[in-house]
Amino acid sequence: MSQPFKIAVLGFWHVHAGDYAKQAVQHPGTELVAVWDEERARGQAGADQFGVEYTDDLDALLARDDIDGVTITTATNVHRDVMVKAANAGKHIFTEKVLAPTVAEAEEIIAAADANDVKLVVSLPRLAHGYTQAIREVIDSGDLGRLTYGRIRLSHDGAIARDGVEDGWLPKRFFDEESAIGGALTDLGCHPVYLLQLFLGADAETVSATYRSVAGLGLEDNAVVTVGYPDQKIGVIEAGFASPNPFTIEVFGTEGSLTYTEDGDVLRVSGKQLPVPEHSLDPFGQWVDHISNGTRADDNLARAVELTRMVVAANEAAASGRAISY
């Protein structure tokens, strides 16, 4: 395989498509060479933005020998089809969360990647942030005692009309149930989900959820998920497209408390402020390293499956109006 790795963008459906394309341009180990999208206008606009070619023929693109990997930012409902096709073509895959609409599809994608020696990484960027490292160290130290409660909130105002922008700045396709699968919880809520699973564990016992639509665009733009654990911990996941709140984390235990806010990048443990380390290597950089070193992103893939499992459970709980066994 030649260096730099030649990368194509598959889909400009997601708002982060341009961010990953930019990373492919800026990373010294990669070169952006092409764009595919099922919608010509959207794909051509993305290709023009980065000065690369656009194609409407996915099979032809994946058959090219001069493309080593793809970033996949299509609609969520076609993740499985596009990723399995890319894996079978031998193209390394970097993808937006969630990995797939169901756990079975997520596992099918991973199996296809493994079968074809394809390096697959899901974008779970907050795992690499400095505050995450610091919080893990505090929890591991035992200073909080036995953990009893965790709450993580992430919200922006993308669904709210203001300054003459109709229906907010999020594309309306984010509220299309068929393509998006879910609203604020499925998209933005993924970050609180995988962080809560990191801090409190993925061994949930029950999941309940309340979804509301402040802007009335269809799918939820205001969501709260409550997770019950066998050891009596409670976790709360909050996500929204209807208010520009600072990202916050709270973790409580029998011996102390921890709070973090992105407003000022402030971490406090039992009232004492602690330094927040610099971020570690971002997921895109990790992906390039896995390709270069021939290694598998074991932890990332395991967390991606558990993230999918929790999102599916939360959506089921919200739809049924009852707590469900996890």
Give the model's pLDDT for residue 165.
64
Residue 153 pairs in a beta bridge with 238, 248
Per-residue pLDDT, 1: 44
Residue 163 pLDDT: 72
Q: Residue 162 pairs with which residues in a beta bridge?
A: 165
Nearest alpha-carbon partner for 231 in 195, 200, 198:
200
Provide the 10 A C-beta neighbour count for residue 248.
Answer: 17
Predicted pLDDT at 3: 82
Structure tokens at 72: 């996949």
Tell me the three-class secondary structure of the chain, residue by residue.
Answer: CCCCEEEEEECCCCCCHHHHHHHHHHCCCEEEEEEECCCHHHHHHHHHHHCCEEECCHHHHHCCCCCCEEEECCCHHHHHHHHHHHHHCCCEEEECCCCCCCHHHHHHHHHHHHHCCCCEEECCHHHHCHHHHHHHHHHHHCCCCCEEEEEEEEECCCCCCECCECCCCCCHHHHCHHHHCCCCCCCCCHHHHHHHHHHHCCCCCEEEEEEECCCCCCCCCEEEEEEECCCCCEEEEEEECCCCCCCEEEEEECCCEEEEECCCCEEEECCEEECCCCCCCCHHHHHHHHHHHCCCCHHHHHHHHHHHHHHHHHHHHHHHCCCEEC
What global pTM score does this model have? 0.97
Angstrom CA distances, 232 to 39, 160, 227, 253, stand at 48, 37, 10, 12
CATH number corresponding to 126-282+309-325: 3.30.360.10
Q: What is the pLDDT of residue 135?
A: 98
Low-confidence ranges of the chain (pLDDT < 70): 1-2, 164-166
Domain ranges, ordered by start, for the chain: 5-118, 126-282+309-325
pLDDT at residue 307, rounded to an integer: 98
pLDDT on residue 167: 75
Q: Which CATH class is domain 5-118?
A: alpha beta
Contacts of 307 (CB under 8 A, 6+ apart): 97, 98, 99, 122, 124, 190, 193, 194, 197
- In terms of C-beta density within 10 A (0-12 exposed, 13-18 middle, 19 or more buried), how is residue 175 classed? buried
Q: Looking at residue 111, what is its pLDDT?
A: 98
